[in-house]
Amino acid sequence: MVEVVTTPATTVSETLAADALIELTERGLDYLVVTDRAGGVRGVVVPDDFVVSPSAAGVPLREQVTRAGSAAELISLGRRVPPLVRDMLHRGRTAAEITAVRSTITDAVQRRALSLVLERHPDLREDEITWLALGSNGRREPVLSSDVDSAAVLADSVDTPARVAAYRRAFAEVDGLLGRVGLHVDEHHATPGAASFARTREQWRRAARRWLADPLSGQALIMTSLLLDARPILGDPGLPVVVEVFGDIRSHPRTFVLMLQESLARRARLRTMRDVLVRRGGTFDIKTHALAPVVDMARCAALSVRSAELSTRARLAAAAGSPILDPDQAHTLIEVFEVLQRIRLSYQLAQLERGDPATDVLSMHRLSPLDRSLIAQAVREVAAIQRRVANLAQLLDPEEWVRSPHPA
């Protein structure tokens, strides 16, 4: 390989074509080396290999977003996202591919929005900012209803409260522009315009260590979960606050088990007691009662094997065979997640076509009998795996949860 490409080379193995294309375009690479599970070289792919691939569907729009010359142009381009999602869905692309493409466009919109805002603030510098995608976009899984969760790591050279405040005001302007583009800015204020989500690098590091050492304090578990899904989309790709601090969570087994127990508190179910009391049996929150439990289990399972993967699908694959998930259960959750995400996307597109906002609360009578059956079966599968993991959590010593049969 040394005679063919420059080393060290970036490699991919058993990944979606859309993910490989994202890796190439987002990092500006000339090629990717494709390997098998054992690490053997199987070939090399270059950007031209994707010219006629359906996985390249979002590339032209992403490039137009990158070159948008004004806020008005960016807003206009944002309206093209739902039709792109609809086209990919109708062409039979997987939910994983569709959300990965949407994620690349959302990244580009955030980067361009930040640049346009900073043009009005010459005293603020882009090279002092690392912008983090959190939540579903951090995992490359956003759908049409997804909030844009994000955070900012400011360089330690931003060393006065006045300068930090100036950046936060600019970030609030970015939030406003993203809303006009059509992205849902997080209503719980998980955005850099809020003080908790825009800190200097050292402030983030100190806070993360505090949350790791005392997970029951304040919003420690929530903030930890958010940062574990963090993905830099502008600035320093290393993100020491995650790599250095949360990468060592296996040295804190009690904290890990608390995170696992918290993730299991949100159980998969078709109806809640509240639904019964108010006689609301005709709706189903597909995110809260089906998808979020899978996402939460995948995050903890990946942590237990030291996996740096971010997507739910990749985390489950990495954790297959760990104390938390056996291979069959991991495979089941991967299939369930894909099925539910596809139903979710189809339903939200139908909502938009009716002129309604995209939501995660499904009216069951609007679903086909097949989709209703698939949802019921998926919820049963997830609930059964949750029960097994919860039972094991009561029996095993915390140290057992953070022992991996092999490095991930």
For residue 278, the model assigns a pLDDT of: 46
Nearest residue to 35 (alpha-carbon basis) of 68, 9, 60: 9
Question: Which pLDDT belongs to residue 50?
Answer: 47
Using the predicted structure, report yes or no on whether residue 1 has a pLDDT greater than 50.
no
Joined tokens for residue 278: 């108010």
Cα 373 versus chain centre, distance: 27
Q: What H or E segment, with its residue span, contains residue 154?
A: strand 150-154
Could you report the per-residue pLDDT of 276-305, keeping only the tens digit for each?
444 455 889 999 999 999 999 999 898 888
Phi-psi region of 163 (alpha: psi -120 to 50; beta: other; left: phi over 0): alpha
Please name the amino acid found at residue 265.
A
Task: State the pLDDT confidence band at 402, using cuts at 50, 70 and 90.
Answer: low
| Beta carbons of 390 and 264 less than 8 angstroms apart | yes
**Six token digits for residue 389:** 């993991």
- Yes or no: say if 268 and 290 are a contact pair by the CB < 8 Å rule: yes
CB distance 307 to 315 below 8 Å: yes
Alpha-carbon gap, residue 247 to 249, rounded angstroms: 6
Q: What is the mean pLDDT of the chain?
A: 84
| pLDDT above 90 for 161 | yes
Identify the residue with better confidence: 401 or 88.
88
Residue 278, by phi and psi: left (phi above 0), alpha (psi -120 to 50) or beta? Answer: alpha
∠ Cα 254 220 189 (to 5°) = 155
Please say if the pLDDT value at position 238 is more than 70. Answer: no
Amino acid identity for residue 294 in this structure? V
Given pLDDT bands bounded at 50, 70 and 90, which one contains residue 14? low
DSSP 3-state of 321: coil
**Which of the four pLDDT bands, split at 50, 70 and 90, describes residue 406?**
very low
CA distance 90 to 349: 11
Cβ proximity of 193 and 165 under 8 Å = no
pLDDT category of residue 7 using cuts at 50, 70 and 90: low
pLDDT of residue 29: 60
Instruction: Give the distance from CA 15 to its chain's centroid.
Output: 16
**Strand 231-234, strand 129-133: pairing:** antiparallel
Nearest one of 5, 119, 34, 137 to 68, comparing CA atoms: 119
**Quick one: how many helices (H) and strands (E) in the chain?**
18, 11
The two structure tokens encoding residue 297: 């289990």
- HSE, CB side, 13 Å, CA atoms: give it for residue 225: 20
pTM of the model: 0.83
Q: What angle do CA 194, 200, 205 make, to 5 degrees?
A: 105
Separation of alpha carbons 318 and 408, rounded Å: 6
Write the single-letter amino acid at 167.
Y
Q: How far apart are CA 389 and CA 377, in angstroms?
A: 19
* pLDDT tens track for 193-211: 999 999 998 898 888 888 8
Question: Is the pLDDT reported for residue 28 higher than 60?
Answer: no
User: At a CB cut-off of 8 Å and minimum separation 6, what does 297 contact?
Assistant: 263, 264, 324, 325, 333, 385, 386, 389
> For position 400, what pLDDT does the model report?
64
**66: pLDDT confidence band, cut at 50, 70 and 90?**
very high
Rg, C-alpha atoms of the chain: 21
Quick check: 30 pLDDT over 70? Answer: no
Residue closest to 270 by CA, chosen among 191, 367, 162, 193: 367
For 43, the enclosing helix (H) or strand (E) is strand 41-45
pLDDT of residue 87: 93
CB 29 within 8 A of CB 23: yes
**What is the pLDDT, as a whole number, of residue 408?**
40
Q: Which amino acid is at 155?
A: A
Given the structure tokens 């849902």, which residue do they identify?
A: 184
Strand extents, DSSP E, 243-368: 283-285, 361-363
Q: Quote the crossing angle between the two packed helices 292-304 and 369-395, to the nearest 10°.
A: 40
pLDDT at 49 over 70: no
What is the reported pLDDT for 249? Answer: 65
